[in-house]
Chain A
Amino acid sequence: MTTLTQNDIEIAVRAADHFTRLYYKTYDSSTRVDDLPNFYRPNSALTWNGTPYQGAEGVRELISKMPPTSHEVQSFDCHPIPGSQPPSLFITVSGNVTHGKGPAGNPASTPNKSIDGHPRVFAQTFMLVPDSTAAKAAPGEVAKYYINADAMRFVG
């Protein structure tokens, strides 16, 4: 088994950086129903707060029933998973997500101390794998990756 080189690690980190930006920007956009499923394939498995969904179609179903979101990524980490080449990526993200209109959307009668409408803490972990069937679009492209597994939960 080959050991990870600095280059492998840097490529993985750049990919994770790019991915997290693209993913949450898309999630929060007005075009999310059309665009978010592009990150998935039919065999992708995901859970949203413990409810399972399958594939890009499952994502479309989930996201079309989602109130508007605004994500703030506060931390993320990424590993190239040992044993695969090009390496599958393991990415974990921690941050805030506000739904709907946020606290501003609460009725005036809402007590100050109410947590309703306020941002939740979310934790989301992805496994990204190369799509061996996808054509390479750019000269330096290692491969096109998609989300193979995705588990998201509200954790605060």
Chain B
Amino acid sequence: MLSTPAPPTGSRSVAANALRKAGLMDTDTRMRDVTDKPGGRKGHQKSSQHKVRSSLRPGRADVLLGRDPSGSTSRSPMVNARIAAANAGGDGLSIRGASKGSAGGRVRRNAISLNGSSRTGAQVVELWREFVKRRWNAEARFLNLERMAEDDFVVKNQLTPPGAPGSGREAAVIFKLAKELKPEIQTISLAHNGIQTGMLLSTLSHYLPRLANLSLEGNQLKMWKDLDFISGKKGKLEHLRELILKGNPLRELEYQSNRAEKYKSDVARRFPSLEMLDQEAIVKISFDVPQASTSAVHAKRSTVTTFPNEMMPSFVTGVDGTLISNFLMRFFPLYDNQRSALIDAYDPNATFSFSANTAIPTRARLEGFHSSKEMPNQKKLEWPPWLNGGRGGSRNLSRMAGGGEKQVKTLHVGGEEAVKAMVELPSTKHEVSTAPEKFCIDAWPTSHAGGTALFMTLHGQFTEFPSEGIRSFDRSFILAPAPEGSRAKLAGWDVMILSDMLVVRAYSSHEAWRPGPLRVQAGEAPTPSAPVGAPQVPATQIPPQVQEALLQIPEPQRSLVLQVCQRTNLNVAFSVQCLEGNGWDLDRAIANFEQVKATLSRDAFL
């Protein structure tokens, strides 16, 4: 009765137009990519022509391969009976045939299953809309899409559900319909649909990015890459709390190989927000996640055009500055010249790791540092010693492929391991004592494990050998007072390292943290207000001889020198001396001045 129509030229665009008219297809190219070409980006002109030809013989391959459509082998007799009853006049076989897409004259490459040419895309969409409505539980905010191929409505209307052979855009259509549901959908079950590829799910995260619970139970997902189509780690389902993968080869094979723990951790890694997997709780640390409900109320994009503050110098508080400078002045020379000796500075359980941020810094690129005459060796710098060296390579967790093994291998625990890793990293030279302006510290005490620890971050640069190129780095420490009798104390360290994280970057100038105004945009006024606590002195009040002498001081230190001059009445040369002797710490310099001022000769003053 139904003749098999040749695929009309442009039938796909007809269907697509219908979908667009029905408001159920996006025009953006990303969506077209995933929905138009089930073969992915490889589905270019040539192969799609080939596939259109094969659609002239619908279902042939399935028959030859003995492939069975979703679930029909496991279909219970009761379900079969129900299907038969719902289709008075038809027999079970022909119905099953129809759902296979072999007998209904379906143009398989046509995304929406057209029954002959009598149904438009829009009509099919309306049928799916009705189906979604039937399966929607508004109270539970739950869309139950289990066993779609067996659904009376789907069978009666000869719809091709996602997962069934020949399905194309249906998944996108259904998920888009699901997006329109009110209240917002929270849970979706796609259990037992014979889904073989994660590709079918790619539109799920596009339309339902805030989905909280997803069941994929009893499908045919086999590969980790199938999960990448919905993985929160890939920016997809970032709010997923619960996932069920039971009954998929991906999970079952891992369990059969006694790798359940590895399976759990591999899934958890792909979904940072996940709390439940296969109905078991995942052990995790959580945060006060911003709630969608509160977010919607006050949404207002900032119109501020200036920064809240100027760039300020190193911020060190609540700790004796000499403690920090003693530590750094000992740490870096040893790091540069005798790394193995640093073993004493680490707590026996201390953690050390390094990571490489290989991105090219935009401002440094614009300023041409890479090819500057002043730094002739920048082009000789190479990343592999950082990416692969140091006993396990870079611990950039945002780029880390592979599983938990690498996370463990790149975290070096204890002084001995820390030093072994450091020794294998490129040699360096840090000019901490000769060029303090090239370094910047923020540090303050914090409570830790019932005592006090020092939280410290340091930014700076070093020369790397053998290239003699210059790199920037950030190094963060948790330091604790070295207990009496500890290895650190016996070796003369007042503080010992509990945690040490090193980030190595391409060179950026220390001008980035030069104290002073910050500009958001060219042409706009820089930071308007003077920040709290930093006395700003109008240039006119500075005596001319001081102004002159100040010009000899490098820009980064100038403001500090000026402040010392003004607060102590010392002349510029003595102010510099005083600051140098106190690690360029203003408060310490002033305190030091107060101690010794009685002994200073008249020519120290202005």
Contact = CB atoms under 8 A, between A and B. Distances in A.
Nearest to A6: B408
A9 B400 CA distance: 14
B356 interface: yes
B577 interface: no
Interface stretch (B15-23, B30-38, B188-196, B311-319): B311-319
Contacts of B532: 51
Contact of B275 (A74, A84, A138): A138
Interface string A35-77: 1001100000101111110000000011011111000011111
B448 A86 contact: no
B299 A30 contact: yes
Given A22-B289, A49-B309, A51-B309, A83 B349 contact: yes
Contacts, number: 334
A68 B521 CA distance: 12
Contact of B294 (A31, A89, A99, A138): A31
Contacts of B232: 21
Contacts of B284: 11, 14-15, 18, 138, 140-142
Interface string A99-110: 111000111011
A11 B312 contact: no
A50 B349 contact: no
Given A77-B353, A117-B520, A155 B478 contact: no
B1 interface: no
Contacts of A123: 457, 459, 474, 503
Contacts of A18: 272-273, 284-287
A77 B395 contact: yes
A6 B459 CA distance: 30
Contact of A106 (B272, B361, B499, B523): B523
A49 B312 contact: yes
Nearest to B399: A75
B518 interface: yes
- Most chain B C-beta atoms within 10 Å of own C-beta, residue among A9, A49, A137, A153: A49
- Most chain B C-beta atoms within 10 Å of own C-beta, residue among A51, A88, A142: A51
A85 to B, nearest CB: 9
Contacts of B395: 77
A16 B281 contact: no
A96 B357 CA distance: 11
Nearest to A34: B298
Contacts of A34: 290, 294-295, 298
Nearest to B275: A138
B295 A94 contact: no
- Most chain A C-beta atoms within 10 Å of own C-beta, residue among B268, B298, B305, B521: B521
Chain A interface bracket (under 10, 10 to 19, 20 to 34, 35 or more): 35 or more
A3 B413 contact: yes
Interface in B419-478: 440, 442, 444, 446, 448-449, 455, 457, 459, 472, 474, 476, 478
B588 interface: no
Contacts of A68: 301-302, 304
Nearest to A26: B290
A145 B298 contact: no
Contacts of B351: 4, 79-82, 90
Given A66-B304, A120-B512, A121-B505, A11 B295 contact: no
A150 B347 CA distance: 23
B288 A144 contact: yes
Contacts of A4: 349, 351, 411, 413
A29 to B, nearest CB: 7
Contacts of B552: none
Interface in B510-565: 512-513, 515, 518-523, 531-532
Contact of B404 (A10, A83, A84): A10
A115 B366 contact: yes
B298 A33 contact: yes
A156 B499 contact: no
Given A39-B288, A81-B448, A155-B440, 5 more contacts: A14-B268, A138-B275, A140-B281, A144-B286, A151-B315
Q: List the 3 closest A-B pairs by CB distance, nearest first.
A: A156-B508, A50-B312, A140-B281
8 contacts: A14-B272, A34-B290, A51-B309, A67-B304, A81-B448, A92-B501, A100-B305, A114-B366
